[in-house]
Amino acid sequence: MKLKRHERRFQASPLPASVDDIVVSAVMPAYNEAETIERSVRRVREVALRIEIVAVNDASRDRTGEILDRLHAEGVIDRVVHQPHNMGKGAAVRAGIRAATGHVIVIQDADLEYDPEEFRALLEPIRLDRADAVYGSRFQSGPRRVLYFWHQVGNRFLTLLSNMLTDLNLSDMETCYKMVRTDLMKSLPLTADRFGIEPELTARLASSGARIWEIPISYNGRTYAEGKKIGWRDGVRAGWCIFKYNLLR
């Protein structure tokens, strides 16, 4: 009998009963983020949870790798992975997932746009065994910096396209904040090297029948002058990835 798309296809391991015993692995891909990486790492370390920080230096050409190694030596970061050459965000995320050992994994960008204090809220549906993955939505009434109109249009269009093929009703598929049970995350056949990791991860979660929740988060987006890297070409690639990972598998 053929499984329906949203039929749960994996057996999740039980989490510790107390939130104080749950280890959250924060995977932090970084490329040329010397200006913000230390503040980002220290903000994650300040969260009142058991946090494992796994930083992945994507062959940065500035001091990012040096800063990460120093923070690791100081015990602020649990482990650092250095990519042999610049391979893209998706490849860095996959390397971080392989190195993570916590009960749940969350992606944390190194650019100060997302607030790690949101981790507790993201964790709650998983802790209560209501969800296997939780998305932090920038478009569900959370406070956010007012920036680019066309970026929001692009994000909403990509989310709509993804929803049409996954039969999900997400409001923000492209969000960085995706918290997933580690056993599930490690079982997903992820292959994307660049920003296609967002639509691919969503497609793989949908195919696995994962129970997905979405909660509002705050968002302090960067301008291009402040170092924002994603552009319209990445949006076009993301559209292709949505078709690729949902229809071609």
pLDDT higher at 9 or 142: 9
Q: Write down the pLDDT at residue 224.
A: 41
Amino acid at 236: V
> Pairing state of beta strands 79-82 and 23-30?
unpaired
> What is the pTM (predicted TM-score) of this model?
0.88
Amino acid at 208: S
Q: What angle do CA 10, 15, 16 make, to 5 degrees?
A: 165
Domain residue ranges of the chain, discontinuous segments joined by +: 20-221+229-248
3-state SS, one letter per residue, for 159-179: HHHHHHHHCCCCCCCCCCCEE
Amino acid at 191: T
Residues, the chain: 249
pLDDT higher at 144 or 119: 119
Name the percent of the chain lying above pLDDT 90: 71
Q: What is the pLDDT of residues 90-105, one digit of tens each?
A: 999 999 999 999 999 9
Is 79 in a helix, a strand, or coil?
strand
Q: For residue 59, give both structure tokens.
A: 């062959």
- Contact residues for 158 (Cβ-Cβ < 8 A; gap 6+): 173, 174, 199, 235, 238, 239, 242
Topology of 20-221+229-248 in CATH? Spore Coat Polysaccharide Biosynthesis Protein SpsA; Chain A (3.90.550)
Q: What is the pLDDT of residues 192-206, one digit of tens each?
A: 988 899 999 999 999
Angle between helices 197-208 and 89-99 (to 10 degrees): 50
Q: What is the pLDDT of residues 182-235, one digit of tens each?
A: 999 999 999 998 889 999 999 999 999 999 999 999 987 644 444 455 665 766
Q: Write down the pLDDT at residue 229.
A: 52
d(CA 76, CA 56): 14
